[in-house]
Chain A
């Protein structure tokens, strides 16, 4: 176990049940690095997850308080929890199914409310724990176990969705960008509002095997890296490019949701007191 894992995680719950070569553990280590560099303690952070690879493999690894919501509902739970525990940092670590499909309505409205949580959307481009079906973030045309002739639906970029909905910090990164991801997560956690960090990572067992034709972790990471560069190792252009980095930074530019609620309560209370006096 490394130093950060020892400091922040539960020894009994790691290593996780993740498949060999999965990126989930690596990304979690980067989250710990960001938390550590910010000087946050276990008790400062509430760790929320959903269902699927990301939910199942990260739930209860965090040494502090954990919740694993039903599929898609982590942000709905966090919205109520934030009212009761407004001073905590929230790391909502979910997959593309939770964030970009079954729970998108909660994602949009959490962004609209500027709910003070940081969503880490760890995107393995499909439903991999159920055996590798396409999701709204699977690149068009790619073969999965439910798109044997290539995915015909258009996907969407969850960063565009949350930005349009009012998120105050939006960034995209991948499992090939260690230092960039740590920097981004620190900025996300420093925003007292809704932060969204989209992190693509490879699934070797399903997406890798069926869409890319290999279970080799390094080859799958290389495929992601090439798509951040727009160019393959042999110099030819990739079929599409992911622009990574900070997409939108309006950190601390408007009041956080639970703050708005508390301010309203203070106003109502003051009005009541004033009425009592007159």
Chain B
């Protein structure tokens, strides 16, 4: 067994790799994830925050209440999360970029507004700082229970969603700008699915000096003419609709025509669904964000996202040190799901912060052989490096994950 870690390839695919290279002037801070999420939003041009305080997302609300008036924006503390996201949708319809932030209990309440924003193609950003559940669970402990809820953030079907997840304070800053850009370009709400650890932890953070000079920020444009809803088209970069400019736009909860009139007609239903699904599916190349380590020669690959990916990555490097050719996949784009990252026919070990198994099911679906996909679920606490290394070693040498306390391996 080699004691030295062999050279291993690391890849990060995300637009902010280039952004970070271009931004050289700025400030280096020691700050929290919630601070980075707030500043990222301000840098992206967010001018309205409407929400309801909830641990562990409350600090975003507090930071926003201070920052937004400084840049001519508006902080609104609403009567509940329903009002919060609907007010954001209203502000966005009025022409201002908007964001809300919450945790699981508030995120499910927002689904009414989420569906309304999806069908009306309203750009918005929603932060869900996940904590362990179900329901209130443990307010100060991390969880990853909203992987599927974020995909299906409304009832009724017939839509795709965009969900991104950061795994460091610095990444939270860039990713928030990215989330705003995508919401503008795709005319849809984007969820930043983060967790209690990333929100609450303090870390090194670089912030560019001049937000006005960030040429990679997609500015808000206004769609001033028909069609307001290009139903039947997957076209990207259609400017968002605006209320208050006399265009006569109609926005509603119903299946609509290209004018926005409600219509009860199968062909209209088809055309609207084509638009909502294919504007995302046909442009998946614009939505690829991930990190990998050593997947090319790996005999076993660990899969994780968010805060948990940090200890999992170290666990992969530790397994390599022990002589296991371990690889690592960290999903940044959670939805649409990056099936192509699981093309190699090797065992995958999916580490996530829930016992029921959510991400693992998508990896099972995507991998060439779903039977080779293993699950290491943990809840309320990150995986330890030792657990991950032991799991990878077990799969590589014996074809199974050893029994470990508080680790759940059963999926079905």
A64 at the interface (CB under 8 A from B): yes
B249 at the interface (CB under 8 A from A): yes
Task: Determine whether the beta carbon of B116 is less than 8 Å from that of A70.
Answer: yes
Task: Determine whether the beta carbon of B93 is less than 8 Å from that of A67.
Answer: yes
Give CA–CA (A106, B69) in the complex, Å: 24
Contact mask A255-266 → B, CB, 8 Å, 1/0?
Answer: 000000100110
A79 at the interface (CB under 8 A from B): yes
Task: Determine whether the beta carbon of A77 is less than 8 Å from that of B249.
Answer: no
Q: Which residue of B lies closest to A76 (CB)?
A: B86
Task: Determine whether the beta carbon of A77 is less than 8 Å from that of B244.
Answer: no
Count chain B CB atoms within 10 A of each CB in A59, A64, A65 and give the residue with the most. Answer: A65
Task: Determine whether the beta carbon of A261 is less than 8 Å from that of B243.
Answer: no
In the bound complex, residues from chain B placing their C-beta under 8 Å from that of A56 are 262
Task: Determine whether the beta carbon of A272 is less than 8 Å from that of B70.
Answer: yes
Task: Determine whether the beta carbon of B95 is less than 8 Å from that of A76.
Answer: no
Q: Which residue of B lies closest to A67 (CB)?
A: B251
Q: Which residue of A lies closest to B254 (CB)?
A: A68
Contact mask A71-115 → B, CB, 8 Å, 1/0?
Answer: 001001111111111001000000000000000011011000000
- A80 contact from B48, B82, B112, B260, Cβ within 8 A: B48
Q: A46-B244, A59-B252 are in contact. Are A83 and B83 (CB under 8 A)?
A: no
A158 at the interface (CB under 8 A from B): no
Q: A84-B94, A85-B94 are in contact. Are A77 and B87 (CB under 8 A)?
A: yes
**Interface SS of chain B:** mixed
A43 at the interface (CB under 8 A from B): yes
Task: Determine whether the beta carbon of A79 is less than 8 Å from that of B83.
Answer: yes
Q: How far is the CB of B69 from the nearest CB of chain A, in Å?
A: 4
Task: Determine whether the beta carbon of A261 is less than 8 Å from that of B74.
Answer: yes
In the bound complex, residues from chain B placing their C-beta under 8 Å from that of A68 are 250-254, 262
Q: Which residue of B lies closest to A41 (CB)?
A: B246
B96 at the interface (CB under 8 A from A): yes
**Interface SS of chain A:** helix
Give CA–CA (A70, B117) in the complex, Å: 10
Range class of the B interface residue count: 35 or more
Contact mask B81-102 → A, CB, 8 Å, 1/0?
Answer: 0110011111111111010000
Contacts of B370-408 to chain A: CB distance below 8 A: none
Give CA–CA (A207, B65) in the complex, Å: 47
- B93 contact from A13, A73, A81, Cβ within 8 A: A81
In the bound complex, residues from chain A placing their C-beta under 8 Å from that of B26 are none
Q: A64-B248, A76-B83 are in contact. Are A83 and B70 (CB under 8 A)?
A: no
B204 at the interface (CB under 8 A from A): no
Contacts of A49-66 to chain B: CB distance below 8 A: 51, 56, 59-60, 63-66
In the bound complex, residues from chain A placing their C-beta under 8 Å from that of B98 are 80
Task: Determine whether the beta carbon of A77 is less than 8 Å from that of B80.
Answer: no
- A81 contact from B73, B78, B80, B94, Cβ within 8 A: B94
Count chain A CB atoms within 10 A of each CB in B72, B116, B245, B253 and give the residue with the most. Answer: B253
- A67 contact from B95, B243, B245, Cβ within 8 A: B243
- B243 contact from A10, A13, A65, A83, Cβ within 8 A: A65
Q: Which residue of B lies closest to A43 (CB)?
A: B246
Number of interface residues of A (CB under 8 A): 40
Q: A60-B260, A83-B74 are in contact. Are A69 and B250 (CB under 8 A)?
A: no
Task: Determine whether the beta carbon of A65 is less than 8 Å from that of B83.
Answer: no
Give CA–CA (A51, B87) in the complex, Å: 17
In the bound complex, residues from chain A placing their C-beta under 8 Å from that of B82 are 73, 76, 106
In the bound complex, residues from chain B placing their C-beta under 8 Å from that of A268 are 69-70
Task: Determine whether the beta carbon of B90 is less than 8 Å from that of A59.
Answer: no
Q: A60-B261, A268-B70 are in contact. Are A80 and B88 (CB under 8 A)?
A: yes
Contacts of B110-168 to chain A: CB distance below 8 A: 112-113, 115-116
Q: Which residue of A lies closest to B112 (CB)?
A: A70
Q: A76-B90, A80-B76 are in contact. Are A69 and B116 (CB under 8 A)?
A: yes
A179 at the interface (CB under 8 A from B): no
In the bound complex, residues from chain A placing their C-beta under 8 Å from that of B261 are 12-13, 60
Q: A59-B262, A79-B83 are in contact. Are A70 and B113 (CB under 8 A)?
A: yes
Give CA–CA (A87, B304) in the complex, Å: 49
- B250 contact from A59, A81, A88, Cβ within 8 A: A59
Q: A59-B262, A70-B253 are in contact. Are A79 and B243 (CB under 8 A)?
A: no
Contacts of A10-39 to chain B: CB distance below 8 A: 10, 12-13
B79 at the interface (CB under 8 A from A): yes
In the bound complex, residues from chain A placing their C-beta under 8 Å from that of B74 are 83, 261, 265
Task: Determine whether the beta carbon of A106 is less than 8 Å from that of B79.
Answer: yes
Task: Determine whether the beta carbon of B95 is less than 8 Å from that of A60.
Answer: no
Task: Determine whether the beta carbon of B90 is less than 8 Å from that of A77.
Answer: yes
Task: Determine whether the beta carbon of A83 is less than 8 Å from that of B248.
Answer: no
Give CA–CA (A23, B249) in the complex, Å: 26
Shortest 3 CB-CB distances between A and B: which pairs?
Answer: A84-B94, A80-B90, A68-B252
Beyond A66-B248, A69-B252, A80-B89, 13 additional pairs, beta carbon < 8 A? A46-B244, A73-B116, A76-B86, A76-B113, A77-B87, A77-B93, A79-B86, A80-B50, A81-B93, A83-B74, A83-B91, A84-B96, A85-B94
Offer 28 A-B interface pairs, CB within 8 angstroms, sorted by A. Answer: A12-B261, A13-B261, A42-B248, A46-B243, A59-B250, A60-B261, A65-B243, A66-B260, A67-B90, A67-B93, A68-B252, A68-B253, A69-B253, A73-B82, A73-B116, A76-B78, A76-B83, A76-B87, A80-B88, A80-B90, A81-B90, A81-B93, A83-B48, A84-B94, A105-B80, A106-B83, A264-B69, A272-B70
Q: Which residues of B contact A (CB under 8 A)?
A: 48, 50, 69-70, 72-74, 76, 78-80, 82-83, 86-96, 98, 112-113, 115-116, 243-254, 260-262
Q: Which residues of A contact B (CB under 8 A)?
A: 10, 12-13, 42-43, 46, 51, 56, 59-60, 63-70, 73, 76-85, 88, 105-106, 108-109, 261, 264-265, 268-269, 272
